[in-house]
């Protein structure tokens, strides 16, 4: 069975994210483990953790993915920001292990004040620090970015460079975001563009290390370098492009998480319905 889910809210307690995912018929899910726009991370109550684990045992939801805070920047040139980023990533890993989540999805960071090569080295060094902090059960997935100013991981070869330099079992593979790839110059609206990125992944990283697909349409036109997600099939990648991605022989078993806009209670059910139609 193809695993399909959405990013669900933890409002009211982390355990309620599972309830919301189950109500949507999800078989996998992604959450933030805390407010992603704050450095401070409040303690997660033992009761909320217990309820989360109990509810998960009653569900068929797996894997569970935790998306890290947007504040983390392992490429930061400022030592204080870099140190805070490393400490926050350690906290993210602790929360993932507390919840028995399988994967933590990470945007490695931005290098607006330095070269990409130097920034990727800093990111790899930071991951080695996190890896050596203790033994982790959860594993990191590095997510490709949209090619915005300062991005250090918008190309597959960039991700491969970071992973190879990190040299750590902590990094299990990558999360492939379709909107980000489209914006960074991989034309996923075409069969040729899809084949191009699949070949690059196979050459640089290995297809078996694609552990998650963020299935998002793109609001902006191809190669604009702007991270704006759109509802499934209504953006510039389009229904046929997204359908080809999920049915590509090399990607057909990879779990799918939707990060499409949420402006009403009907948005997630509608997008999930479209993707379930693709999967039939």
Give the global pTM: 0.97
Residue 88 contacts residue 76 (beta carbons within 8 Å): no
Domain ranges of the chain: 4-279
Residue 103 contacts residue 93 (beta carbons within 8 Å): no
d(CA 148, CA 218): 14
Order across the sheet with 256-258: list the strands: 4-6, 256-258, 210-214, 171-177, 139-143, 103-106, 64-67, 29-31
The pLDDT assigned to 168 comes to 83
118: exposed, middle or buried (C-beta count within 10 Å: 0-12, 13-18, 19+)? middle
4-279 has CATH 3.90.180.10 classification: no
Intervals of the chain under pLDDT 50: none
The pLDDT assigned to 1 comes to 87
The pLDDT assigned to 43 comes to 87
- Our CA angle for 88, 208, 220, nearest 5°, is 65
d(CA 238, CA 215): 11
């Amino acid at each position: 069975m193809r695993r399909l889910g959405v990013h669900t809210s933890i409002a009211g307690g982390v355990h309620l994210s599972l309830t919301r995912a189950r109500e949507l018929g999800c078989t996998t899910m992604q959450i933030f483990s805390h407010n992603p726009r704050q450095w401070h991370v409040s303690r997660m109550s033992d009761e909320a953790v217990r309820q989360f684990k109990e509810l998960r045992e009653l569900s068929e939801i797996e894997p569970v993915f935790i998306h890290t805070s947007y504040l983390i920047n392992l490429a930061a040139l400022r030592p204080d920001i870099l140190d805070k980023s490393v400490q926050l990533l350690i906290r993210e890993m602790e929360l993932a292990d507390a919840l028995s989540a399988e994967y933590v999805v990470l945007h490695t960071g931005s290098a607006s004040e330095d070269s990409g090569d130097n920034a990727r080295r800093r990111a790899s060094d930071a991951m080695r620090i996190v890896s050596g902090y203790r033994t982790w059960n959860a594993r990191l997935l590095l997510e490709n970015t949209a090619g915005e100013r300062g991005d250090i991981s918008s190309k597959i070869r960039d991700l491969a460079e970071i992973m190879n330099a990190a040299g750590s079992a902590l990094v299990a593979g990558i999360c492939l975001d379709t909107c980000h790839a489209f914006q960074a110059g991989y034309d996923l609206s075409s069969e040729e563009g899809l084949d191009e990125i699949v070949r690059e992944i196979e050459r640089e990283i290995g297809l078996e290390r694609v552990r998650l697909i963020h299935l998002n349409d793109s609001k902006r036109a191809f190669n604009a370098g702007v991270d704006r997600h759109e509802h499934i099939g209504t953006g510039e990648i389009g229904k046929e492009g997204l359908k080809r991605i999920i049915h590509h022989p090399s990607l057909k078993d990879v779990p799918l998480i939707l990060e499409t806009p949420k402006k009403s209670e009907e948005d997630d059910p509608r997008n999930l319905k479209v993707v379930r139609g693709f999967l039939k």
